[in-house]
């Protein structure tokens, strides 16, 4: 029940942190590092595609925790 409610309440623009689970499948974009200093991500490191239930990853370049924002909800 909680998972269904989370899915219904999740909208494009909601932010999540490394280690949290993705509430919906979709494309998430990099917002910033949780702690500073952080690296300067290139364009390949700025988006991740996740399936609902997967954990948000650390940044690929430096391995530090970051904030991800839902960019596009997947319809599959």
Are 6 and 28 in contact by the 8 Å Cβ rule? The answer is no
Indicate the DSSP class of residue 36. Answer: S
Which residues face 73 on adjacent strands?
26
Are 36 and 64 in contact by the 8 Å Cβ rule? The answer is no
Q: Rounded distance, CA 28 to CA 25, Å? A: 9
- List the chain pLDDT tens, one digit each, 76 residues: 345 545 556 788 899 999 999 999 999 999 999 988 878 888 888 999 999 999 999 998 889 999 999 999 997 6
Does the pTM exceed 0.75?
Answer: yes
Note down the domain range covering 43: 2-73
Question: For residue 33, which of 4, 73, 68 has the smallest C-alpha distance?
Answer: 68
State residue 1's pLDDT score. 38
State residue 28's pLDDT score. 97
User: In the chain, how many domains are there?
Assistant: 1
């Amino acid at each position: 029940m909680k998972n269904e409610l989370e899915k219904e309440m999740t909208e494009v623009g909601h932010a999540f942190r490394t280690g949290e689970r993705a509430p919906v499948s979709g494309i998430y974009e990099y917002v910033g590092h949780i702690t500073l200093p952080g690296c300067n991500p290139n364009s390949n490191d700025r988006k991740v595609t996740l399936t609902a239930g997967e954990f948000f990853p650390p940044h690929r370049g430096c391995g530090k925790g970051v904030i991800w924002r839902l960019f596009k909800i997947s319809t599959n």
